[in-house]
Amino acid sequence: MENLTYIDRLHAFERQLHEDHIRQLEQNRAFGEQDGRRNLPAVSDETMPPDERNMLARYQSRVETVAGMVRQMLHDIKDRRWQSAVTEMDQWSEAWVAQQVRNALQVRDRLLEESLDIHFDNLKALENAPPFNRAKTDIEAAENRLQGISRHLGRYELHQKIRPFWAIAIAVIIGILEVPLNYKTFFVFRDSLLMTMIFSLSFVVVMPVIAHSAGRLFRQAGERPAYYLIACALSLGAVVLSHFASELRTDVLKDAPAASVPFFFTVNMLFFMAAAIASFLAHDPSIALSDAHRAVQQAQRRHARTLASFEEQIRAETDRYQQKKEGIQQTFSQAEAAAQNRLSVVQQSIHDATALYNQVLALGQRLEREQQAYCHAAILCRREENLKFRTNHAQPVAWRAPLPELALSLHLIPELKWPPVDVSKPPLNTRYAN
């Protein structure tokens, strides 16, 4: 854009000078006709007329204006663009590039260290938040308890053949299957519908609960032998209830054979044994280890929302840190590439400034020569009109002498060369060149 500014300014000034010259020619034709009709200057005059000398002075002034404008442009180009690039070119070396890369590397390491410190501070602030602290303390206490019990027992895993969910599911399914039969059985009491449902559901609930409890107590009786006695008592109670239900079912069902009591009793006991065995396989022999595992799971479920929120904030902070780190690395890569490519950039700047300098100088020199040509053309135009209207048709003696040349100065300024012989000593100080 700046190149266009210099060249456009000169072209605009050239158009202005050309318009002035056209007006000058028109005036000279009119003045030449007037002087010719009066036979002025005289044929015997040997000196240049004052009007022609004024015209020489006028065009000489234009030449000086062109020279002053071009000199200022050349000075700006040389000092602001060419000389600064040459100075940097003198300083450029492989060591300079290496130093620039080291500086960029130091900046990168410092920014990475600061970003890492900020990242750790943000993580520490998240970890020290009261909700997360409470959740972490609660879960750590449960896990520490579990670790202590595991070290004491010499194992961490629970000895469970099936999941507790399936043991409970089996007991519930058995109870549901017996609901219609138990309803029919307890209807024998001729009680209200509500009481019949209460008796039926009580039996349905009590039997699976007894079976589940008996299986668990048998499984964990190794730590507490009294559980054997309780499990046996529960099993005996289940036998009694099963026999009682079998008798009631046989009495209720019409035309039931005598073998119905053993059949119903056997079915009830099979259901009981299935639920008890499932409960036995779903529990661990150690009460303490089971409770510790359960406590850890409960603590994790209780604080699941807090932990999920904290993990989301951790991910967001980590992503922010990664983006920051990538941005720092990208900036370093750009600085490194700029330092390594600086030589070509500086050389291109020197060549561009040199080309612009020489272009402006050539255009200025052409403008000076144009003004000299315009000056001679204007004088000759006036003489031609003068001679055309002279009554004596004789040329003055002064016209025989060659027209004087204008004082041109831009041709004294040499073009810039790259590389110059001595960069520290420019070819010519364009500000004071004559």
Question: How many other CB atoms are there within 10 angstroms of residue 224's CB atom?
Answer: 11
Instruction: Give whichever of 41-45, 128-132, 341-345 has the largest mean pLDDT.
Output: 41-45
Predicted pLDDT at 427: 45
pLDDT at residue 428, rounded to an integer: 42
Is pLDDT above 60 for 245?
Answer: yes
Q: Return the percentage of the chain with pLDDT > 90, whole number.
A: 28
Instruction: Grade residue 239 by pLDDT with cuts at 50, 70 and 90.
Output: confident
Q: What is the pLDDT of residue 285?
A: 75
426, two tokens: 């420019």
pLDDT of 153 over the 80 cut: no
Task: Mark residue 39 as left, alpha or beta (left: phi above 0; alpha: psi -120 to 50; beta: remaining).
Answer: left
For residue 295, the model assigns a pLDDT of: 83
pLDDT of residue 253: 55
What is the phi-psi region of residue 406: left when phi exceeds 0, alpha when psi lies from -120 to 50, beta otherwise? beta
Residue 371 vs residue 212, higher pLDDT: 371
pLDDT confidence band for 420 (50 / 70 / 90):
low
pLDDT of residue 3: 58
> How many other CB atoms sit within 10 Å of the CB of residue 82?
23
pLDDT digits (tens, 9 = 90+) for 277-313: 877 777 777 777 777 777 888 888 888 888 888 889 8
Select the more confidently predicted residue: 199 or 392: 392
Residue 425, pLDDT > 50, answer: no
Highest-pLDDT range among 203-217, 330-344, 371-385: 371-385
Percentage of the chain modeled with pLDDT above 70:
80
Tell me the mean pLDDT in the region 310-320: 90
Average pLDDT over residues 122-134: 84
Question: In which element (H, E) is residue 129 found?
Answer: none
**What value does the mean pLDDT of the chain take?**
80
pLDDT category, 144, cuts 50, 70, 90? confident
Closest residue by Cα to residue 187 from 178, 196, 195, 179: 196
Q: How far apart, in whole angstroms, are the C-alpha atoms of residue 123 and residue 111?
A: 18
CB atoms within 10 A of CB 327: 12
Please report which confidence band the pLDDT of residue 405 belongs to, taking 50, 70 and 90 as the band edges.
very high
Q: What is the pLDDT of residues 350-375, one digit of tens each?
A: 888 899 999 999 999 999 999 999 99
Q: Which residue has the higher pLDDT, 430 or 247?
A: 247
Which pLDDT band holds residue 349 (cuts at 50, 70, 90)?
confident
Shortest CA distance to 274 belongs to which of 204, 185, 173, 180? Answer: 173
Mean pLDDT for the stretch of residues 89-98: 72
Q: How many CA atoms lie within 13 A of 434 on its CB side?
A: 1
Q: Which residue has the tokens 């612009």?
A: 356
Q: Confidence band (pLDDT; 50, 70, 90) for 188?
A: low
Band (4; pLDDT cuts 50, 70, 90)? low
Quick one: pLDDT band at residue 324, thresholds 50, 70, 90? very high
pLDDT of res. 127: 80
Output the DSSP codes for 231-300: HHHHHHHHHHHHHHHHHHHHHHSTT--TTHHHHHHHHHHHHHHHHHHHHHHTS-S-HHHHHHHHHHHHHH
Q: Compute the average pLDDT of residues 316-332.
A: 91
